[in-house]
Structure 1
Amino acid sequence: MQIDDTDRRILRHLLADPALGTAALADRAGVTQATCWRRLDRLRAGGIIRTQGARIDWRALGYEVEVSLRFSLDKTNPRAFDEFIDAARAVPEVVAIETFLGRVDVRLNVIARDMRDYQEIYRHRILTLPHIADIEALMLVATIKDESALPL
């Protein structure tokens, strides 16, 4: 799907403030409300805008620990990958699951209230996941840049 400068303006303002209503977004993008609505509809239908939602600050909710766990799976079982992913989805503290090509097969981002909570999650929910061949943990110290925006 091709986008033009008007689409880019709308997307820039939408990324800057996802809570904007169509009228305010149209005003900021310099188009009519009807044009803005049609453009948004086309961008959604074309898969450019997938969803609009809230970004939650886990720390503000009391989750002080975030750990990225990298897994290599034992692939002797042909269902290892699917069974691992299905089990990981059931762990409430897993906030992201990503798959890779290379030495690491899967990465899970796990949140916990503190180190004691993380140890419990790790021992009782993570280490019980099926088909783990190797695991590496990286504790988040700081997020320097976290942007999903493109240079539009």
Structure 2
Amino acid sequence: MPNQKIDDIDRRILRALQLDAKISLSELADEVGLSASPCARRIRLLERGGTIKGYTAIVDQEQVGLPINAFASIKLERQREEDLDRFEDAVSRWPEVLDCYLMTGQRDYLMRIVAADLAAYERFIKDKLTRLDNIASIETSFALGQVKRSEVLPIQ
């Protein structure tokens, strides 16, 4: 159900769940001014409607040995629909690619790739990315540090 009608209570539920998805139903209900049963019903509707896509744990990259964030700008030789689809299908299977966006401007795609070190990133480039047909160029920038990262949308 795209473009689900969301009211102020739904927005409060979404804000609270974004800040703490492990909040208990009774705490959430109290926070948004509902009893538990109507609150649970609203959550189910938000999930079924696709507004809430899922729940996940945010894991510290460095703690699991993946401190490198590489941002790769990809230019394709051709931008026909089947070429875009083929590229996107391949990228969607690579766990190293955390984000990939189809872009406007001089580059076709921007990807965020995580790696254990520069050698691991080089293997990713050589073993996966450069083996795709239709790649015209790859430009990579490496993050020196993270200033801000958030999964919380500014829902008003």
TM-score, normalised to structure 1, is 0.86
**Which region of structure 1 is more displaced relative to structure 2, 102-111 or 59-68?**
102-111
Partner of 1:54 in structure 2?
57
Question: Which blocks of at least 5 consecutive residues in structure 2 are unaligned?
Answer: none
Superposed displacement of residue 21, structure 1: 2.7
Alignment match, 2:146: 143
Name the stretch that deviates more: 132-141 or 77-86.
Answer: 77-86
Structure having greater relative contact order (Cα 8 Å, sep ≥ 6): 2
**What are the Cα deviations for residues 91-135 of structure 1, in whole angstroms up to 9, with x where unaligned?**
332222221233211122211101122222222222222211121
Amino acid of the structure 1 residue aligned with 2:132 = L
Unpaired stretches in structure 1, ≥5 consecutive residues:
none
Matched residue, 2:71:
68
Q: TM-score, normalised by structure 2?
A: 0.84
Write the distance in 2 (CA, Å) between the matches of 1:87 and 1:3. Answer: 35
Aligned residues: 152
Cα deviation code 1:55-88 (max 9, x no counterpart): 2222220111110111110117763222222222
Whether 2:90 is the aligned partner of 1:87: answer: yes
What RMSD over aligned residues (CA atoms) do the two structures have, in Å? 2.1
Q: Which residue of 2 aligns with 1:26?
A: 29
Kindly tell me: are residues 35 and 76 of structure 1, through their superposed partners in 2, closer, same or farther at Cα, counting changes over 3 Å?
A: closer
The answer to whether the aligner puts 1:12 opposite 2:15 as a matched pair is: yes
Q: Identity rate of aligned residues, in percent?
A: 29
